[in-house]
Amino acid sequence: MYQSSVEEQEEYGRCMECRQMNTLLCKSHLGPTILCQTCDLNLRTRKFGICIKCKQINTGQNWCQPCNSDRFRQNFSNWASNNDDVDKFIQNNQLSAKNKYQLLEWIPYDRFHDGVKYITKGGFGKIYKACWKDGYISHWNVIKHRWQRNNANKCVALKVLEKSQKLKSEFIDEITSHVKIIDRNTTNEIVRCYGISQDPSTNNYVMVMKYAENGSLRSSLDRRNIKHKPNFIKLSELKKRCSKLMHIASGIKRIHEKGLIHRDLHTGNIVCFVRGIGITDMGLCKPVNYEELENKVYGVLPYMAPEIIGGKIYSFGIIMYEIISETPPYPNINHDEHLAIDICEGLRPNFNIKVPQLIVHLIKRCLDVNPSNRPKIEISYNFSTTNNLPLTNKEHPGAIYTSRPFNFNNLPEPKNSDNYYENCDNISDMIYLEESSNSNNSECLE
């Protein structure tokens, strides 16, 4: 039986702006608001302005997609990546970009200066830091008749993909997914990709991305552990950690809203800026040889849901645990097939500090063996005091927090631990239960 779409069901009704009934409605270009076409037109005009050249409403802030696509097309003959697939991909991107956030460029490697400095190594690539002479395109300067660029001579992150001399279509598809998520509302939640380059010494392809001054969340937590780890957590600090979780959850929500999922979510793929936290690696650093790994599991073992060893809510539960406790999951256990078996048999990380029961119960729901029992991306908060227990830092040499492929066979059927809920309830602080019961302050992100 035919069912009408949401758009058809809401085709006529009350506009959320002018409040008129029986008007032809549409979903606003600027968000989920349902507006009549006149109000949507007026809203876009106020928000984006009118193009000076074609006199039409801009498609983004100081951005006219039809006019800019003509400008990009005229410049196609002035650059080349020496790879037809890459050229076509970037050209199509530039012709369709509706704002500066969706735009990609081919960036010659000689546009990076002051030395390319190595930062760290990921599962299938290395991360470098460099200064980009030009900076990213912001808009067309109608007075100077050239592209206006921002952040010239500022640091960017170079993600070098190993053994990527011959890119496959899957990699291009992943970058497309990354660009699809980015807009003006996600720049503080999803790490922006400016374009593609190529290392002339290795011919490996490079993704040029926004530089995170404070590194990955994993390295940030490690630095705190190395410097000094107090035996207590102040309420103000607990709220800061919950704020980080809110940003991460919001980023995951943005990804899900685009019909996508993050394939490798862990604290190594979450980076810290001076202001804010961003999710990176939307599967972009998956191995280039996808076919060879299609029967393997890829990622960081402690963050994998038992049924994968694939649920991203499970991964978020592990991230919640790690941020609140500032301790990596299973640090004193070798990350091998034995850990995979233990996880399938119900092993979950335990707090070594007292935390609000609200957080404990949300984490338990995220880590439930049954995906249907896991919550949507939601964070609840309202804390008043914090009681603590001593923390430990000893880490097993086989506890590896870099993404890698796993090939486990004959794993047991996943199940919840018989005593996991009991253990968690015992370490949670009843004070939080009493305080939280007096408040209805919660926020659901989905």
Could you read off the pLDDT of 297-337 as tens digits, one per residue? Answer: 445 545 555 555 345 688 889 999 999 888 888 888 898 88
- The answer, yes or no, to whether residue 396 has pLDDT greater than 60, is no
Q: Cα(270)–Cα(158) distance, rounded to whole angstroms?
A: 16
What stretches of 199-352 adopt beta strand conformation (E)?
A: 205-210, 270-272, 277-279, 297-299
Token output for 7: 């758009």
Both 188 and 157 in a single domain? yes
Both 199 and 230 in a single domain? no
Both 23 and 121 in a single domain? no
Both 199 and 286 in a single domain? no
Q: Is residue 1 part of a domain?
A: no
Q: Are 304 and 310 in contact (CB under 8 A)?
A: yes
Q: Cα(335)–Cα(345) distance, rounded to whole angstroms?
A: 15
Both 35 and 98 in a single domain? no
For residue 340, the one-letter residue type is A
Q: Please report which confidence band the pLDDT of residue 233 belongs to, taking 50, 70 and 90 as the band edges.
A: low
Top-confidence range, 17-31, 83-97, 120-134: 83-97
CA distances in angstroms from 301 to 43, 123, 223, 407, 416, listed in the order given: 47, 12, 22, 11, 17
The residues with which 131 forms a beta bridge, in sequence order, are 113, 155
Q: Is residue 53 part of a domain?
A: no
- Report pLDDT for 2: 34
**Counting runs of H as helices and runs of E as strands, what totals does the chain give?**
12, 17
Q: Is residue 199 part of a domain?
A: yes
CA distances in angstroms from 6 to 30, 31, 40, 163, 256, listed in the order given: 18, 15, 18, 45, 18
- Report pLDDT for 3: 36
For residue 219, the one-letter residue type is S
- The answer, yes or no, to whether residue 117 has pLDDT greater than 90, is yes
184, 210, 236: which is the final residue of a domain? Answer: 210
For residue 179, the one-letter residue type is V
What is the number of structural domains in the chain?
3
Residue 105 is part of which domain span?
Answer: 66-210
Q: What is the CATH number of the domain that holds 354?
A: 1.10.510.10
Q: Is residue 430 part of a domain?
A: yes
Q: Are 250 and 161 in contact (CB under 8 A)?
A: no
Ramachandran assignment for 85, one of left (phi > 0), alpha (psi -120 to 50 degrees), beta (any other): alpha
pLDDT in tens, 341-358: 888 888 888 877 777 777
- Report pLDDT for 152: 94
Q: Which residues have C-beta within 8 Å of that of residue 328, sequence separation ≥ 6? A: 218, 221, 267, 302, 322, 395, 399, 401
Q: Which residues have C-beta within 8 Å of that of residue 115, sequence separation ≥ 6? A: 130
How much of the chain exceeds pLDDT 90, in percent? 27
190, 210, 230: which is the final residue of a domain? Answer: 210
Q: Is residue 57 part of a domain?
A: no
Mean pLDDT of the 130-158 span = 96
Both 312 and 380 in a single domain? yes
Top-confidence range, 45-49, 60-64, 421-425: 60-64
- The answer, yes or no, to whether residue 92 has pLDDT greater than 90, is yes
- Report pLDDT for 137: 97
CA 208, 210, 213, 219 dihedral sign is negative
- Report pLDDT for 383: 30
Q: Is residue 173 part of a domain?
A: yes
Both 382 and 297 in a single domain? yes
The mean-pLDDT minimum among 164-178, 213-227, 258-272, 361-375 falls in: 164-178
Both 375 and 299 in a single domain? yes
Q: Is residue 391 part of a domain?
A: yes
Both 270 and 161 in a single domain? no
- Report pLDDT for 252: 84
Q: Please report which confidence band the pLDDT of residue 38 belongs to, taking 50, 70 and 90 as the band edges.
A: confident
- The answer, yes or no, to whether residue 436 has pLDDT greater than 50, is no
What stretches of 9-124 adopt beta strand conformation (E)?
A: 12-13, 23-27, 34-36, 105-106, 112-121
- The answer, yes or no, to whether residue 111 has pLDDT greater than 50, is yes
- Report pLDDT for 179: 82
Top-confidence range, 93-97, 288-292, 347-351, 434-438: 93-97
- Report pLDDT for 196: 94
Q: What is the CATH number of the domain that holds 159?
A: 3.30.200.20
Q: Is residue 415 part of a domain?
A: yes
Both 312 and 202 in a single domain? no
- Report pLDDT for 125: 78
Token output for 294: 């299609």
- The answer, yes or no, to whether residue 173 has pLDDT greater than 80, is no
How many residues in total does the chain contain? 446
3-state secondary structure of 316: helix
Nearest to 165 by CA among 281, 289, 77: 289
Higher per-residue confidence, 349 vs 76:
76
Token output for 418: 């018989």
- Report pLDDT for 382: 33
210, 230, 253: which is the final residue of a domain? Answer: 210
Q: Cα(63)–Cα(235) distance, rounded to whole angstroms?
A: 44
Q: Please report which confidence band the pLDDT of residue 55 belongs to, taking 50, 70 and 90 as the band edges.
A: very high
CA 105, 110, 113, 119 dihedral sign is positive
pTM above 0.85, yes or no: no
- The answer, yes or no, to whether residue 135 has pLDDT greater than 70, is yes
Both 137 and 35 in a single domain? no
Both 396 and 286 in a single domain? yes
Q: What is the mean pLDDT of the chain?
A: 75
- Report pLDDT for 412: 58
- The answer, yes or no, to whether residue 234 has pLDDT greater than 50, is yes
